């Protein structure tokens, strides 16, 4: 599960002790020369941000440096599945802004990767990045096909949990821990039939009104927070 090391001294100590760190973020307005040298020697990616950036991202108030742990920066579907953990599939979601918001929610809730089975132009990918607050700096976002995702899930022993109206129980009644792909579909079409047929479990968000469904962001947020709650309570 993704985590943070906060503070310049603690990040440097962790690097010196060989703690597995996936990425470091530093305040561009402070002298972090020694930390930069350690990151370069260990070949750990380093990002710069403003004081406000680090304050917003830190779990422990304003800091000069943050380290991201527990989330390898995979660059392929195979690497994502080999690493394991909580992976999101936004199945057939087309609107770039919605995708960006969803990726941001996946990142902030501690997921390990995001899979997208839609084709996007360079400009659309820029829109997704902006809407996600450039969350792809901290979580792998892999563009691939539905068939490849389903084949990889089976090969690596991932469970597939879909949020869809045909479900009969809430997400809090389903195990969302371990190696799992959480799936939310496009607002109009929902989850595609191949993914639905491959699902190990289908959960439903309770509704009590006349509008036919929640919007995408609500569905993602509810499932993300519940998955995080379960992982934290079970230490997974």
Show the domains of the chain with their CATH numbers: 3-69 (3.30.1330.30), 77-234 (3.40.1280.10)
Query: What are the strands, taking DSSP E only, across 37-103?
Result: 46-49, 65-69, 86-91
Phi/psi at 13 (5° precision)? -60, -45
Instruction: Identify the pLDDT of residue 236.
Output: 57
Cα torsion 73, 78, 82, 87: sign: positive
Share of the chain above pLDDT 70, in %: 99
Whole-angstrom distance, CA of residue 216 vs CA of residue 187: 6
Q: How many helices and strands in the chain, by DSSP H and E?
A: 9, 10
* pTM assigned to the model: 0.83
- pLDDT of residue 136 exceeding 90: no
Q: Which two tokens stand for residue 167?
A: 């479900």
- pLDDT of residue 61 exceeding 90: no
- pLDDT of residue 133 exceeding 90: no
Instruction: Identify the pLDDT of residue 57.
Output: 80
- The 10s digit of each residue's pLDDT in 66-113 is 998 877 778 899 999 999 999 999 999 999 999 999 999 999 999 999
Instruction: Identify the pLDDT of residue 104.
Output: 94
**Higher confidence at residue 133 or residue 160?**
160
């Amino acid at each position: 599960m993704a985590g943070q090391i906060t503070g310049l001294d603690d990040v440097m100590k962790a690097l010196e002790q060989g703690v597995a760190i996936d990425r470091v973020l530093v305040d561009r307005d402070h002298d972090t020369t020694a930390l930069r040298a350690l990151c370069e020697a260990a070949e750990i990616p380093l990002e710069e941000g403003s004081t406000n950036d680090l304050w917003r991202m830190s779990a422990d108030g304003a800091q000069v440096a943050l380290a991201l742990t527990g989330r390898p920066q995979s660059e392929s579907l195979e690497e994502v599945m080999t690493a394991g953990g909580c992976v999101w599939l936004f199945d057939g979601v087309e609107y770039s802004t919605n995708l960006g918001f969803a990726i941001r929610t996946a990142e902030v809730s501690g997921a390990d990767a995001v899979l997208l089975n839609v084709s996007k132009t360079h400009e659309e990918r820029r829109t997704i990045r902006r809407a996600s607050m450039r969350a792809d700096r901290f979580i792998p976002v892999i563009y691939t096909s539905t068939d490849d995702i389903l084949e990889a899930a089976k090969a690596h022993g991932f469970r597939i949990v879909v949020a869809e109206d045909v479900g009969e129980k809430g997400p809090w009644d389903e195990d969302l821990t371990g190696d799992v792909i959480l799936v939310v579909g496009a607002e109009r079409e929902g989850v595609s039939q191949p993914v639905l047929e491959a699902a190990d479990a289908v959960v439903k968000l309770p509704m009590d009104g006349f509008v036919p469904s929640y919007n995408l962001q609500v569905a993602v947020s509810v499932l993300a927070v519940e998955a995080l709650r379960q992982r934290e309570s079970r230490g997974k």
